[in-house]
Amino acid sequence: MKSSARDAGLHSQHAQKRKLAGLAVFAARLADHLTADIIGGALMLILLFTVISIMDISGFNSRAMEQVEERDFRKLRMMNPDTAAWLIIDGTHIDNPVVQGKDNFEYLDLDFHRNYYAGGTLFLDTGNSKDLTDRYNVIHGHHMSEGAMFGDLDLFLEKEFFKENSTGTLITERGLFRLDVIAAGTADAYDADVYNVRGEMAGHIDAILRSASHVRKRKKLKSMLRAGKSRRQGSDDKQILLLSTCTGDMDDSRTIVACLMCPEKNDVTDQDLHYAGDDVTNGEHIETS
């Protein structure tokens, strides 16, 4: 009896082991199947995202410009009353309208025509004046693949690209501004000196210098910094435009590119605008840190 009971127990243990082994094999095959499906699905999403991004570059501007020839600001404002500017950065894909929403979230997933679009629209910080009369202005945009939206800003983190590309244009309701790229680097999304547009100008400039990996016109920035600290107005009372996007690292770091705004032409509401910024050159020494 004891031998029979022992054999029955051993048989039961072996049966349990066989069941566990069978379950393990089934689980492994199921995991392989699910992993293949997940990887396949992820690859499909990446492919779809890439196609959409390419379509954004090649199609978005052409769709907008079909109705607005030569970037007529009045027509842009008729298409979308939230229009604040049109931004062009030479040497990149950045050639897009800029809006200002009721807050800094509205245009994160809306295109210029206010249709849903994951890439959103470039938008002026809601703390700034819509006519860009503030001394310190910030434009935000998503970091999209293939250079869409602000996907090309991180190019300025490369020394040679920063050295060879230094100009742009900002078209606003009150006039056209030449943009001189003066600094590029990374900053924390919660750095108040960078993102509180109502802060002191000296704090903004100090934060740009602190965050920059490449700087052009450092003497000009330091002169503006001294003027800001002494609250002295005059020749150094320049405007700064900061362009900001996420770094793509899924953290709180942001890629920033700072530009000086230099007035070029007044009253753009009564005429179409043509950009000739490619004729502007800047042979200044580039500093890196």
Backbone angles phi, psi at 162, to 5 degrees: -60, -40
For the chain, which residues score pLDDT lower than 50? 1-12, 53-54, 57-59, 61-62, 64-65, 67, 69, 232-235, 267-285, 289
DSSP H helical ranges for the chain:
2-55, 61-67, 73-79, 159-164, 192-195, 201-211, 218-229
Domain ranges of the chain: 1-67, 73-284
pTM given for the model: 0.70
Q: What pLDDT shows up at residue 233?
A: 46
Strand partners, 99: 83, 123
The helix/strand/coil state of 18 is helix
Residue 260's pLDDT is 93
Query: Tokens 């434009």 appear where?
Result: 139
- Helical axes 201-211 vs 218-229, angle rounded to 10°: 150
CA distance 170 to 212: 22
Residue owning tokens 């704090």: 203
Q: pLDDT value at position 134?
A: 95
* Cβ count near 126 (within 10 Å): 16
CATH class of the region 73-284: mainly beta
Contact 165, 156 (CB under 8 A): yes
- How far is it, in rounded angstroms, from Cα 147 to Cα 212? 21
CB 211 within 8 A of CB 222: no
In this prediction, residue 287 carries a pLDDT of 56
Q: How many residues does the chain have?
A: 289
pLDDT, position 238: 81
